[in-house]
Copies of this chain bind each other. A is one copy, B any other.
Amino acid sequence: MEKVGTCADEGNSQPKLLHEKHICQEKANEERIMHSEKYISDFSNIYSTDLLPTRNGEKCTEQFLIEVLRILLNHIKKTYDGESKVLDFHHPHQLLEGLEGFNLELSDQPEPLEQILVDCSDTLKYSIKTGHPRYFNQLSCGLDIIGLAGEWLTATANTNMFTYEIAPVFIIMEEIVLKKMQEIIGWGENEADGIFSPGGTISNLYSLQAARYKYFPMVKTKGMAALPQIVIFTSEQSHYSFKKASAILGIGTDNVIAIKCDERGKMIPSDLEDKILKAKRQGQHPFYVSATAGTTVYGAFDPLITIADICKRYGLWMHVDAAWGGGLLLSKKHRYKMNGIERANSVTWNPHKIMGVPLQCSAILIRQKGLLQACNQQCADYLFQMDKPYDTAYDTGDKTIQCGRHVDIFKLWLMWKAKGSCGFELQINRCLELSEYLYNKLQSKSNFELVFRDKPEYTNVCFWYIPPSLEHVPRDKEWKARLHKIAPQIKARMMEEGTVMVSYQPQGDKPNFFRMVFSNPASKKSDVDFLLEEIERLGKGL
């Protein structure tokens, strides 16, 4: 065996072993391929018609894709470069008018590949660096390199999840990952079913639709006209997807009954029980409760065990919307917060959130084999032939509300292989440590105020910044109205300067506050410090 050396740069705490012999050669070549300006090919007279499948298009294809890689690597490096900005803000009309030659209009005639490469660079230049350590704007932040490789491969495989016939490997991976997720929830082997869907809202719709079919199977053929007035229950701080889904399913948003929350955003079970009884008295037909594990704003976990007891008492379907919280099941330290989830009939769990999987990756898990299939199948002859040479139980496409379905599984499978469950656990625990760090810092600062006092259970930390102009002023209605305008103004300045991105919003009668979330493995304590300093810097004169 050859002697091995290290490719780690000076100061790297984790040395990596590589064949020494190849290192110099490799570095030199990469430098030339990836960095040197001199080395760019001239694509000014090459067109898409020169690429594969055109005869002899192999070389051009390779060169073009290497150039694309160079642009993407440049974006990745800038994303993680401490000096770069999160965004370079421009208004919609500026983009529409064309920025420095970045013309978005389409034409009849083709552009040479040189222009296409410039367009790729420009697109990234004016996009948000969602993997940047100071991008805290959404529940899905970060850019996982393994997940990214998974997406590139998925795009290259360019297939569809309808049948095993055309997606054999991905269909099996989906089965394996779904089983793993079901096992982590605590469901028995072979007890459950599931599918990856285009996002948490659609996953929640799946659960509501499956539950409706379970209680009222005639709905599939006869429609809602054959049903009594069905009503569902979810907390006032749950995600708006239950209203969306009820509007779509023909249940109607008036039949979504909001349950009160305590001051930190957890559903109050006694209010749930009261409202179930009230609905029954009014002749409505309760059938479905959605509890939330990790609310969007406060990161609250509803009391699942008590809710499960209530659902059992009244014979209701229990759904847990763990789109945001699901990943916490991988943390031995924190998963107790979701005790009771194993009693749910269905669970939404988005690996594209705290687990850091690239968008989109959302699973709906249903604790009843065959229900999705019965609810959704239409047996199209052109896809789901029964006289195929393999076990057609693997043609899972007829379980879905879609026909074609994007391959969302591979990146998650690959990340799970690369990190192991332990790797996800470490990554998630670190996000919770950061939220505790922010919480402690906020408590020690007099010009910041927490929206609720308790230590956060998850990575959401909600707070106000109180500028000097509002510090020694009576806290009356006018004060509240003025405070309401502070966060949007600071956010606007943040975007203008491009230094950091964080979300804000009002809630009930609470004026606009900042909602911090941690889901980006790139974020560090110094980024938290930066955020607070930046809020002070941008907001102190308001």
**Contact between chains at B110 and A56 (CB < 8 Å):** no
Complex Cα distance, B41 from A3, in Å, reads 14
The verdict on A382 contacting B296 (CB below 8 Å), with A62-B30, A68-B153, A252-B226 known, is: yes
**Contact between chains at B358 and A92 (CB < 8 Å):** no
**Contact between chains at A156 and B124 (CB < 8 Å):** yes
The residue that A252 contacts in the complex, of B17, B104, B221, B404, with Cβ under 8 A, is B221
The residue that A422 contacts in the complex, of B9, B108, B250, B422, with Cβ under 8 A, is B108
**Contact between chains at A423 and B17 (CB < 8 Å):** no
* Interface size bracket, A side: 35 or more
Binds B, one of A75-83, A261-269, A464-472: A75-83
A330 nearest CB neighbor, chain B only: B108
Complex Cα distance, B227 from A56, in Å, reads 61
The residue that A209 contacts in the complex, of B149, B198, B248, with Cβ under 8 A, is B248
Complex Cα distance, B503 from A379, in Å, reads 16
Complex Cα distance, B536 from A42, in Å, reads 48
Per-residue CB proximity of A54-69 to B under 8 Å, as 1/0?
A: 1111111111111011
**Contact between chains at A14 and B49 (CB < 8 Å):** yes
The verdict on A65 contacting B73 (CB below 8 Å), with A127-B159, A155-B358, A496-B389 known, is: yes
**Contact between chains at A418 and B111 (CB < 8 Å):** yes
Q: Is A177 an interface residue (CB 8 A)?
A: yes
Binds B, one of A199-207, A311-319, A448-456: A199-207
**Contact between chains at A65 and B149 (CB < 8 Å):** yes
Q: Is A225 an interface residue (CB 8 A)?
A: yes
Complex Cα distance, B7 from A44, in Å, reads 13
**A485 contacts which chain B residues (CB < 8 A)?**
387
The verdict on A96 contacting B14 (CB below 8 Å), with A505-B382, A505-B385 known, is: no
Query: Shortest Cβ distance from A238 into chain B, in angstroms?
Result: 11
Q: Is A346 an interface residue (CB 8 A)?
A: no
**A127 contacts which chain B residues (CB < 8 A)?**
157, 159, 167-170
Complex Cα distance, B400 from A95, in Å, reads 23
The residue that A250 contacts in the complex, of B47, B108, B250, B423, with Cβ under 8 A, is B250
A226 nearest CB neighbor, chain B only: B252
**A85 contacts which chain B residues (CB < 8 A)?**
none
The residue that A198 contacts in the complex, of B9, B226, B406, with Cβ under 8 A, is B406
Complex Cα distance, B63 from A62, in Å, reads 17
Can you offer 14 A-B residue contacts whose CB atoms are under 8 A? A11-B56, A26-B41, A49-B423, A71-B153, A110-B419, A119-B414, A143-B158, A158-B358, A165-B495, A200-B404, A201-B401, A221-B247, A221-B253, A382-B515
Given contacts A18-B42, A205-B401, 7 further A-B contacts (CB under 8 A): A8-B56, A92-B171, A110-B417, A111-B417, A200-B404, A247-B378, A359-B407
